[in-house]
Chains A and B, each alone.
Chain A
């Protein structure tokens, strides 16, 4: 009950802080070129507005804290000894009584394996699969979408408008229940459970989707003068595409590649359904924790959480290092047509 009381008091303090800060911002006036606080500037409207923003601010900050708490808990639990965790699963590590266990990070790497039938996949196997699945389909997808966006944006040909509109329509059509058909066809083609071939297949709808629309917009914005000048100089169409226009949209391509890389690095459903024999780290960790949590003795909870912390690192580094680039590209317009 003490903790709940503490929570209520903390929320009240937060609410009052937000309220006072907002009210003070309304009270700021300029008198003879100097900023002053004036009670006269406060109207009932502004008090109501401050109350409203204080409520929103409190909810927003409480939400942020709720996002951080599980991560913080997993980070401190990853350093606990097994005994410390059993006796104290929620609190801070009791360093004086039980010490810290940084070896959890090494132990989980040694124990991290996935058993599929008679085959055992170790960390190296899964790491290679993760890298291949994160890099190759992302490159293949961005490559083909860039080329398709280039010809559709910069060339007039029969069927161009129809293809563009088809791409928009495909985004709108809610195709449901075709997984069964997809499984039958991929099995017949030998693509089921065949990751190292499937990853080279171009995306089925390279002329549709948000990524295509972003690339299309980027291609459209490049003046025709660049292509015309190159054509006059005798450059071939392929040279104009690869050496002049595509390099201009490389930042956009890089952003989309990073987003696809992060998504593919963290993909586990694809391996659960389509590639069970070539597990990546995400699928391996997902299955490993499921088995270990059932008390199989494969790993302790602190070790599993240490594994999770390490799984977070690659995508976190990649995202944070390209954060500005990603956020600048994330504008969404309307679906006209």
Chain B
């Protein structure tokens, strides 16, 4: 009897070991990729922030020198400081203007108001057509066709919205709002459609109008979806690239730069051979990450706190 119990135990152990070997065989390659292209890249970036590199590729430890330079640059009118300020402005317009509009338009589609089907299809056009093509078409339309059309309407000196100094910043913000509705509207509308109809009917029977229904029934019930977008939005404040590369390639005016553009510009213009400007990029990225990280976790905590769906 003892031998049969031991044999059974051996079988169980064998199965567990085989399971573990199987799991390891599947995970080994993705984990190696993670170790190299995520862990090592970010560790290397962290170390690079405290080094300098000469044009011959020799590394030297400079301690907090790069970080001091970054902090001093924030006080002046440096590219880094300006790009951080612009990133915050771009994010703010996305959060305070775009997000309410996404929710409003999604609710409009959800309530099946006039033209809702057409709206739902057309708003996905930038996703269907390829955003880079859309951006280039917009650029040519605004740069060439629009000034000539406005001239026929009596506005002879209508500027190029993209290249004119007076209008390019506003144009950038307008464009980022204008083209951003597709996926968000789709996701929010799907989330609203997932609400149990009985809840809505019950609210209507209690005398809730559209205003009350939207703010006190629908929004709380789709709060997990909203909070996901809020959190990922905060995460990408400084990594979102926007349309600058499409409109200007590497020639965007400095006053329009976001932080992601600053990094791309620095890495690209070094052409992958001269790394002397890279430590400054790594240091500024490290500082920005350290500031953004607690903000993201605070926002996540706040979103979880405001979540009434599990109450």
Residues 170 to 224 of chain A near chain B (Cβ within 8 Å): 170-185, 187, 192-193, 201-207
> CB distance A204 to B37 under 8 Å?
yes
The yes or no answer to A286 lying at the interface (CB within 8 A) is yes
Give the A-B contact count at a CB cut-off of 8 A.
295
Whether A308 contacts B137 by the Cβ 8 Å rule is: yes
- Find A57's partner among B42, B108, B238, B278 (CB 8 Å cutoff): B108
Encode B288-311 as 1/0 by CB contact (under 8 A) with A: 110011001100100110010000
A148 / chain B contacts, CB cutoff of 8 Å: 26-27, 30
A22: chain B residues within 8 A (beta carbon): 113-114
Q: Does A120 belong to the interface (CB within 8 Å)?
A: no
Interface residues of B in 164-213 (CB under 8 A from A): 178, 181, 183, 186-187, 190-191, 194, 209-211
If over half of B's interface residues share one DSSP class (helix, strand or loop), that class is named, otherwise mixed; here it is helix
Contact (Cβ within 8 A) B289 A335? no
Interface of A: prevailing SS: helix
Knowing A71-B137, A315-B130 touch, does A179 contact B267 (C-beta < 8 A)?
yes
In the bound complex, residues from chain A placing their C-beta under 8 Å from that of B111 are: 53
Instruction: Mark each residue of chain B from 131 to 157: 1 if its CB lies under 8 Å from any CB of chain A, else 0.
Output: 111101110110011101100111000
Question: Are A177 and B30 within 8 A (Cβ)?
Answer: no
**Any chain B CB within 8 A of the CB of A97?**
no
Q: Which residues of B contact A334 (CB under 8 A)?
A: 223-225, 227-228, 303, 307
CA distance A201 to B34 in the complex (A): 11
Give the B-binding residues of A (Cβ under 8 A): 1-4, 17-18, 21-22, 45, 49, 52-53, 56-57, 60-61, 63-64, 66-71, 73-74, 77, 89-90, 144, 147-148, 150-151, 155, 157-158, 170-185, 187, 192-193, 201-207, 237-238, 241, 262, 265-266, 268-269, 272-273, 282, 285-286, 289-290, 293, 301, 304-305, 308, 311-312, 315-316, 319-320, 327, 330-336
Hey, which bits of chain B sit against chain A, CB under 8 A? 18-20, 22-23, 26-27, 29-30, 33-34, 36-38, 40-42, 44-45, 48, 104-105, 108, 111, 113-115, 118-119, 122-123, 125-134, 136-138, 140-141, 144-146, 148-149, 152-154, 178, 181, 183, 186-187, 190-191, 194, 209-211, 223-225, 227-229, 231-232, 234-239, 241, 245-246, 249, 259, 263-264, 266-268, 270, 272, 275, 278-279, 281-286, 288-289, 292-293, 296-297, 300, 303-304, 307
